[in-house]
Amino acid sequence: MEAELAALAGSGAATLIGLMVTDSWTQVKERLTRFFVGKHAAEDLLLDLEISRGEVMAACDAGDGGMAADVEAQWRLRLRRLLLSDPVTAAELLRLLGALDSELRSPRTNTVRNVVSGGVQFGPVIQSGRISGLAFHTPPAPPLKEHAIHPEEKG
């Protein structure tokens, strides 16, 4: 039985880490909070989730798979301890993972509406949830005009 709970904790942690880098994170975070409520303080959990997400996002940006694996290991251990302390939680976690899996597989239709206001835009306008590795290059500033030298400034 303990091996099954360890496997479930591993699956839950892998799913959690995978979802941290998706656009669905806000909805997933809410569902996870409801799952953990009553088992831990919700505020502490939200803080832990956001810290973990920040670490995973930074690891992805840096290409550091080891850091993301460390975060996953922390959540695997946390879920395993929870499952061992309350076996009923296993059924709840299985339902949650099933719901998240089906939710992520179902196609979403999103409507995006862009409005640019405030006058003429002379540069790029970008709307995105997350951008990394983007650089803007601006032309060099024109040289300053030399000021006229007054006779008293001559040496």
Could you tell me the residue ranges of all domains in the chain? 14-105
Report yes or no: 37 and 112 within 8 Å, Cβ to Cβ: no
How many degrees, rounded to 5, is the angle at CA 60 between CA 53 and CA 11? 60
Q: What phi, psi does 118 have (nearest 5°)? A: 100, 20
Q: What is the mean pLDDT of residues 68-79?
A: 91
Beta bridge partners of 106: none
Distance CA(127)–CA(113), nearest Å, equals 10
| pLDDT per residue as tens digits for the range 123-132 | 766 666 556 6
To the question of pTM greater than 0.75 for the whole model, the response is: no
What is the distance of C-alpha 47 from the center of its chain? 13
| pLDDT per residue as tens digits for the range 21-51 | 888 888 788 888 888 776 566 678 888 889 9
Model confidence band, residue 54 (pLDDT cutoffs 50, 70, 90): very high
- Map residue 135 onto helix, strand or coil: coil
DSSP secondary structure, 59-74, as one string:
HHHHT-HHHHHHHHHH
